[in-house]
Structure 1
């Protein structure tokens, strides 16, 4: 669903939003200032990318939405995987996405066909009505992402969950630690501990840095030990 709104997360203005079957907003633009990055998690991801590797050039994204991050960098190379061609059509028709860099299909399969050591960043921002597809969170998937990144590259994931006592978030974090030497996690604040909110998890084989003032309200969190997610788990199929 695409709709215009006079208010977004308590901020008055003129916004256009893309929303899927649940209540989560997948993308939004400020119609008065289309270049402004509206969603906080996207601003935080952009900061992490620029602060950790200012010279990055080649990025692979799973989950198109309205193409905000790719659109933000007209001079950098982005390959975007999106499973639903209708999402791509809507991004072009209503949100002004002009790039011809979106490949329709399963993000894992599309990434598998890319060259080794090709990317500086891999961004995972894919959701179904059940959350992040589990085949994009397994040990085997993370091992593949490591092969596709250069030696200083990193994976950045936008997830939905809770900072504490979230079985799936803890499992994703634990599984990622099997592949990458350095892991950091960040959360948006919420009214109640049990509230679902955006959680960003980043993995790299070099140290990860950030500046709190540029994280759009995200703060660093420590996640708990969880189980390993494997392709052999029937839930990933």
Structure 2
């Protein structure tokens, strides 16, 4: 039997659930384009790693409450977005309750298995963001070695993959290990979110070697342009890499 899709609201925040206690998305009603959940904010940290006009072609796997879709659509006019969502009911709920934009020249929403798109589509992407879970917070094929290998092959020469791994579950370290194996160890795990989620970023293209001072400057520019403040995350990344040479390498 298919799980239910439930919408709740408390203290001005609207939540999406897939028939369980797990929060699948959230939106502050008065600020619908802001990223409410910390893990979605951390996924946007990928924008600090390459300079605009990157990314031009973006694949988002898993729609949820459309948080990432809305952010890209509103603040990155250079990006062309394809959103893969396996459940058409989620798309309908996102339009009705979470202000999912109408499709246009920059946004395409397809009812499809994201893993199949990555495996079968001949396109090459600048960025693939993976945030797909079922009602029991399981990622299924989106956290398997064949998917990560296919994602690497589907990225172009500046391509980066971002994956939401659920850190409180046994599979976090195993999932990150599969990502590292697929990308020849060119992957980092960001500091763990308050909810236990861990965001992994993997590089299939040109090498990245950024001083943390530059990351701070880029985070400040992102804050000015979008209101999203990732300066605290950058500070945590500096502490996490304290034994290094002052460079983020990927």
User: For the superposition of Structure 1 and Structure 2, which TM-score range results when normalised by the shorter chain?
Assistant: 0.7 to 0.9
Query: Which of residues 130, 140, 150 is equivalent to 1:144?
Result: 150
Distance in structure 2 (CA, Å) of the matches to 1:140 and 1:215: 34
Q: What CA distance in whole angstroms lies between the structure 1 residues aligned with 2:34 and 2:134? A: 26
CA distance in 2, matches of 1:215, 1:84: 35
Q: Distance in 1 between matches of 2:193 and 2:201?
A: 18
1:82 and 1:176 mapped to 2: Cα distance? 22
Which structure 2 residues correspond to residues 125-164 of structure 1 after superposition, within 5 A?
125-162=131-168
**Structure 1 portions without partners, runs of 5+:** 7-13, 191-195, 223-237
Query: Does the aligned pair in 1 maintain the 2:22–2:137 contact within 8 Å?
Result: no
Cα offsets for 1:77-96 (capped at 9, x unmatched): 11111111111000001111
Long gaps (5+) in structure 2? 1-5, 220-228, 242-250
The answer on 1:80 being equivalent to 2:79 is no
Distance 1:83 1:146, change over 3 A: same
Q: Distance in 2 between matches of 1:91 and 1:161?
A: 26
Q: CA deviation at 1:201?
A: 0.9
* Cα distance, 1:98 vs structure 2: 1.9
1:168 match = 171
1:203-228 Cα offsets, whole Å, 9 max, x none, are 11433755597166584569xxxxxx
Equivalents in 1 of 2:166, 2:232: separation in Å? Answer: 16
Query: Do the aligned residues in 1 keep the contact of 2:164 with 2:200 (CA within 8 Å)?
Result: yes
Equivalences for 1:109-124 in 2 at 5 Å? 109-116=116-123, 118-124=124-130
Normalised TM-score (structure 2): 0.73
Residue correspondence of structure 1 range 48-67 to structure 2 within 5 A: 48-55=46-53, 56-67=55-66
Other structure's SS at 1:26 match: strand
Map 1:201-212 → 2, pairs under 5 A: 201-205=200-204, 206-207=207-208, 210-211=215-216
TM superposition score normalised by structure 1:
0.77
Given the alignment, which residue of 98, 101, 105 partners 2:112?
105
Give the aligned length. 206
1:10-62 alpha-carbon deviations (Å, 9 max, x no partner) = xxxx1111122232222222112222221111112113224434321111111
CA contact (8 A) 2:39 2:193 kept: no
**Higher helix content, 1 or 2:** 2
1:11 — aligned with what?
Answer: none
Q: How does 1:186-225 map to 2 (within 5 A)?
A: 186-188=190-192, 190=194, 197-205=196-204, 206-207=207-208, 210-211=215-216, 214=230, 217=233, 219-220=236-237
Distance 1:215-1:105 versus aligned 2 partners, 3 A rule: farther
Contact 1:120–1:152 (CA under 8 A) maintained in structure 2: yes
The 2-side partners of 1:189 and 1:159 are apart by 10
Matching residue of 1:24? 22
